[in-house]
Each structure stands twice: as C-alpha cells, then as structure tokens.
Structure 1
Amino acid sequence: MPGRGRKFRNPFRGVIDGVSEMNRMADRMTGADGGPVEQQPRGYANAWSPATDIVARGSDLLIRCELPGVHLDDVDVSLSRGTLTIAGERRQDDADTEVYVRERAYGQFRRDITLPEGVGEEHIEAELVEGLLRVTIAGSAGAPGSTRIDVRGSRTG
C-alpha cells in the first residue's frame, strides 16, 4: 500500500482552511457560534461606519454623515491637527426584550477626515437634524490639494 507510514500532503488543505475560516466568520456574524449577534464584539468585518458624503457647496466643504437613531448627546465632532473626527455611539433600546431579527448595527463609530491646511475651529459649524449630521467648513472647497513629490533614486535594468 503506497505511503504506508508516511503522511500525505493534502492538496486541498489551503482551500479547506479558507472555507473553514469563512464559515467561522459567517457563524460569528449570524450568532450560530453560540451567542446573540448583538453580544459579540464587532470587528473590522462587521463594524458600523456611518455613510458619509463630502461635497463642495460654493466655496464651502459640506460633510453629510448619516446617523439615524443617534442622539445629539451621543455625537462628538472634534478637530485636532487638521483632522476632523466624527465619533459617537448608537445605543440599543433597552426595552427590546425579545428580538427576532436585528439588522441595524449598534455601538461606537468613528470617522476621521483630513481637512485642508489652515482650517481652524472658527471655520466649522455642525448640526444634527433628523439623523443627518451636517458639518460645514467655510471657505475650504478651493483649498489647494496635494503636491506631488519627486522621488530620487537609481533606475535599474
């Protein structure tokens, strides 16, 4: 009998491992691995990140961020070193005692947006109305963009 006493290399090992990993992730996202989905920690694959648009409106930049179900007290907009951060949390309703389907994501979120050089807090206004956060950055739509940097080095072959 060929290979008696020898271990054979499984030609499907990588495929089976990949499929097993995908099944494990699916089980984790659907709660099939033993716990309700809402009690499982969110990771990169299923984290909540609010939909965001950045548009020019005249000379201003307008950032629109969808935050349905997020209360005003649970939203934080801050500026630090040229980065605008929109962070907060959408909380679950404690009155939900028997959940049959839960498709909405809950928990903390964070979006970091790099702003044009020279933008200060005096240029920024923010308001949350009916689940839509609007951040207006005055006079920033025409700000110069990035500058290309030449890379020096030797060319080979």
Structure 2
Amino acid sequence: MFIRRLYPIRENAALQSRVNSFFQDLAKEGSATENGSEVAGTFVPAVDIYDNGEKVVLKLEIPGVKEEDVDIRIENQTLSVRGERKYEAEEKQENFQRVERHYGSFHRSFSLPISVDAENVGATYEAGVLKLELKKKASAQPRQIKIGAVVGAAAGAAAGVAA
C-alpha cells in the first residue's frame, strides 16, 4: 500500500498560480498574436488624476500615439478619451524576437464632478503624455470665510432671528 502525504498549502499555491495565469491571459482581450508575441489589440493607458482646488488635472500616458489619433469628448458629465496606437507594418520584416509594447485602440472614461466647468477644458500633448486641465466653476472654488462675517441670505435670516 502506498501512502501519499498531502501538502494542502503547496497544492493551493499551485492552483492559485494556475488561476492567476488564466486571468492574465484573459486580460489580453482582443489581442492577435504573431509568433507568440502580442502585436495588436487593446491597451489601457495609465492615468494620474489630481485636484489642486482650482482645477482637476488628468495625465494619460500614451507614448507612440499621434495627436490626430486621439479623440477627447465630454458628454453628460463624462470625459471620454479614445485613441489608437498603430502597429507599423514595415517593421514587421525586421524579424523581431519579442514584441512587448501594446498596439491597438484604447478608451478611458471618467465621471466628472458637478463642480467641473465642462466648457472650460484645456488639453496639451507632450512627450507621450496627454494632459487635460478641467477648471472648476467659480461657485466651486474654495474660499476663506472670516469668523463673524455673515453673507447674503444668511445675513437677513440671522438679523431676523436676532431681532
């Protein structure tokens, strides 16, 4: 009789590794391969978003994408950035050993806060980084309020209550 020792932690780790590999392969959605290398499909550009009080700034990394291949739109408080990094067919004859850069189309959408003025947007593209500056509405700008100062309708209400 053969006795086999079980190592559940090791077996779970192997299963987890196989599941991770499956999902990594699945994440390469829509990609066509040539000689085992990814050459076409979709990619998701990295983005940094920050708010400096006066405006919301987005920086998208899209190196290799031509300015005319980028489409930026705002509709119903949603900012959409679409584009495409095209694979140069003439380089196909260079007998590549490995192609790791992603090619194809991309699409990113961002819900904008109500405080953003959709009519006041600036876009610049430099060194492969698309920078979008979305200015906030004047009413959304931060302002300092002095203690003891009563403003607008609140002043009338405060005066009526004090009387």
**In which range does the TM-score fall when normalised by the shorter chain?**
0.5 to 0.7
Aligned with 1:115 (options 109, 112, 115) = 112
2-structure distance, mates of 1:52, 1:86: 11
Q: How much does 1:119 deviate?
A: 3.6
SS in 2 for 1:96: helix
Q: What is the 5 A alignment of 1:74-113?
A: 74-97=69-92, 98-113=95-110
Q: How much does 1:95 deviate?
A: 2.1
Say whether the 8 Å CA contact 2:55–2:135 is kept in structure 1. Answer: yes
Change (3 A) 1:55 1:109: same
Deviations 1:84-134 (A, max 9, x none): 001100111222122211111010011100001264442211111111100
Q: How much does 1:58 deviate?
A: 3.9
Name 2:124's counterpart in structure 1: 127
Change (3 A) 1:116 1:21: closer
TM-score normalised by structure 1 residue count: 0.62
Larger radius of gyration: 2
The root-mean-square deviation of aligned C-alpha atoms, in Å, is: 3.8
Matched residues, number: 131
Change (3 A) 1:49 1:24: closer
Name 1:51's counterpart in structure 2: 46
TM-score normalised by structure 2 residue count: 0.60
2-structure distance, mates of 1:26, 1:122: 40
Q: What is the 5 A alignment of 1:33-52?
A: 36-38=36-38, 48-52=43-47
Q: How much does 1:27 deviate?
A: 7.6
Detail structure 1 runs of 4+ shifted over 6 Å in the superposition.
16-29
Say whether the 8 Å CA contact 2:77–2:118 is kept in structure 1. Answer: no
Identity of aligned residues (%): 28
Q: How much does 1:20 deviate?
A: 7.3
- Relative to its length, the structure with more helix (as a share) is 2
What letter is aligned with 1:56?
D
Which consecutive residues of structure 1, in runs of 5 or more, have no partner in the other structure? Answer: 1-15, 43-47, 144-157
Which consecutive residues of structure 2, in runs of 5 or more, have no partner in the other structure? Answer: 1-13, 141-163
